[in-house]
Structure 1
Amino acid sequence: MKQQGTGRGHEDDWWRRLYGDGGGAGGGAAGDTGASDAPDTLDDRVASALRALAATGRAAPAPGDAPERPERPGPATGKPPARTAPPPPPAFPTPPAPIPLQATGPGSRPATPRRPVPPPRGAPADPPPSAPPPDGPEPGPLPAADPAALDELVPDTALDGARYGSLTLRAASRRGDLARHRGDIRRDALLTVRFGSGRHALLLVAVATGPPAGAGAARAARDACAWIGGAVGRSCTRLAEDLRTDQRDALRSGLQRLTDRSYGTLRARAEERGLPPERYPAALRCLLLPADPECRTRVFFGVGPGGLLRLRDGAWQDLEPTAPDHLPRRAAPADPGEPPPAAAGRRTDGTRAPGEPFLFRTAFARPGDMLLLCSAGLAEPLRQDPAFAARLAAEWSLPRPPGLTDFLTAAQLRVEGHPKDRTAVAVWES
């Protein structure tokens, strides 16, 4: 026991001298001074440990290895064997590598990248859809543009209005659901112009629709409106006088001549563009409205499909001169002095498409009437869907004409199975 205690005291003395423990730890061997004159800084302690390791000839353990336990002194010598000091802590510890985070739960596994499958050779990359989406009339992609022909573009919607004397005018043209979904251009065109001033002013509203197939449909519709507008503008004085004096025969022949010339110009333009003339017509329908409040004669003329209706006492009356027999309609009773609806004689001299008659009709405006001129995109659901016709009649039978925004909202009410462009021109009489 005495030998073991002596060895333990020598061992403690060695550690105290190495690290400057002094007697503060309590419990030293006999003969200890209780203090050490070894330097007591961190650098001095590290240097002392390194000198002890060099004296024993042992290598320093790697960081993180457990320090070796000192060997017990042997019974023969009674001296403690040399003990390896624990390695000093590294001056700049290296942080461990971060553990990558991994999501858990459904769908947390990374998706395996799939190789794109090329489309078959000759197949279109993105075929146009055949039907508009059922979720609403929101516009889809913009129509493709040619940098050299930006004047070919037309806006999705056109809106206009005016008030003269006893009449209030509202006009709107919007792209159909199918054209919006496909990113096609609007084929309906709208023109609202005034010629002259004061009581002698004459209002012209023109609605045109390009052919359903072939290039240049929108351009054909706009050209038809522009050319008939120019022709009426150059003859506005004579036309306004015929309206005030109720010269219906003169109006019919004069407007037919102007329409024929406009269609002849359309066909000449088609030949210049290398298109077949028979594929370049446009349905054209017009209203002539005198600004004079004492003249209540309204004149309709044009060519091609569409609608001319009158809303009187909350009910629709079809004023179309050549309304198809297979579509239900309520014939309008003739006002005093108002001729029955009829179509003018057909011309086959190439100025209009064969089989397309020139349409002409005059109507007498009563206070409270509403006269509606529209393209086929609105005329078809009005004639074929009684619920839609009744809803529009309720919207437009209010005591005051609607504002521009309300008129557009009603005109673009969706009807299933009718995705065409829509153009509507309404004239309220007071």
Structure 2
Amino acid sequence: MADVAVPNGNATGSDWPNRYFHVDQILDTAGPRTDDSFSAGEGVKKFLRTECKILVIGAGGLGCEILANLALTGFKDIHVIDMDTIDISNLNRQFLFRPKDVGHPKATVAAEFIMKRVPGCKVTPYFGKIQDKDESYYMQFNIIICGLDSIEARRWINATLVNMVDENNGESLKPLIDGGTEGFKGQARVILPRITSCYECSLDMLNKPTAFPICTIANTPRLPEHCIEWASVLEWPKVQGDKKLDTDDPDHITWLYTVAAARAKEFKIEGVTWSLTQGVVKNIIPAIASTNAIIAGMSSCCTEAFKIATTSAAYLNNYFMLIGTDGVYSYTFEHEKRKDCPVCGGESLNVEIPADWTVERLIEMLVERQDIQIKKPSLASDKPIYFQGPPQLEQATRPNLEKKVSEVLNSSSTINVTSTSLPFSLNLSVTFV
């Protein structure tokens, strides 16, 4: 989809008197924690307010807070990407939206609101997926902030920014600030591609996605979630064939809800709702406005963006976490790089497996590993080992599932792993034990 044209509103208006009085106290004078490269005065203020271009990915609960804080801090050239439209359930925490906005693109409405409310600020929205844009698009920004609720999207932008880095071009390194919340817990981190640990390095810190045994959801469902999983995992491919399930399509969610509700009625299970159906298939986590405000605001994401843009203070190195479930506790630490990180490590992932393992057992191991988090992997060496699709190729390689890995590798010990959930190819170096 094309960039959405938005009226400037007050974007060309002048700043109100003393608008930057408090911010200028930081930028006019060096402080005890100021970076050595900091140059106080008009130069740094000009860069912040007229030259620095910043991208916000996500205009939901976290993104709304980030956009407002950036505009009020003095960033004037802001871009925002979001692929969602506004739902009535968003209004309790995504404060840039009103009932009249339901059904409209989040990015467009958020941009209009910020430009109307903050004179002199230009916000350029894009209604679509981050994957729609190529590297040349991301190269134009000085800083990128993520306010996403999708692990797959985070992995994609992380891998894209790491791959963009050119040792001979310092401007190719784009700092990534990632924020996330889950109920009363939250985190923010600063990622300098190729320098600090990247998002992929910390996958093992994430909660393992909930998985239900196929035998349970197929034969003895006990929970509403079992009925929803049955509808999405078993019935959708059975009825819809090769049609891909789009969890962002309301019509697809409605179909799943209808089928799951019928199965729940058959087994006398209560609790299947449209919102629960959406939550299960999209793995939606609860959001609380106050947590969003803390993580997005002047204690986390936007503070780090300001420090990186102005060098007025040392930026986070490199992980901040907040736990508010029992009191309020915060902690910062340096998350170290993984040498075998498939994105920034530069090395193949070494795996040791028994010599009698089959290809099917290897695939099960890959799916179970917390530090990989892969769905439906396809394997190849010097020739296809097992491909999840298309159907003809899956059928042709299916007999290999029962073969030993040592039989299909021939002289090579490296396996190339791909998946729709991976934004990169994973190279496995296999050792038999």
TM-score band w.r.t. shorter chain: under 0.3
Higher normalized contact order (CA 8 Å, seq sep 6+, divided by chain length): 2
TM-score by length of 2: 0.23
- The structure having more radius of gyration, on CA atoms, is 1
Q: Choose between structure 1 and 2: higher helix proportion.
A: 2
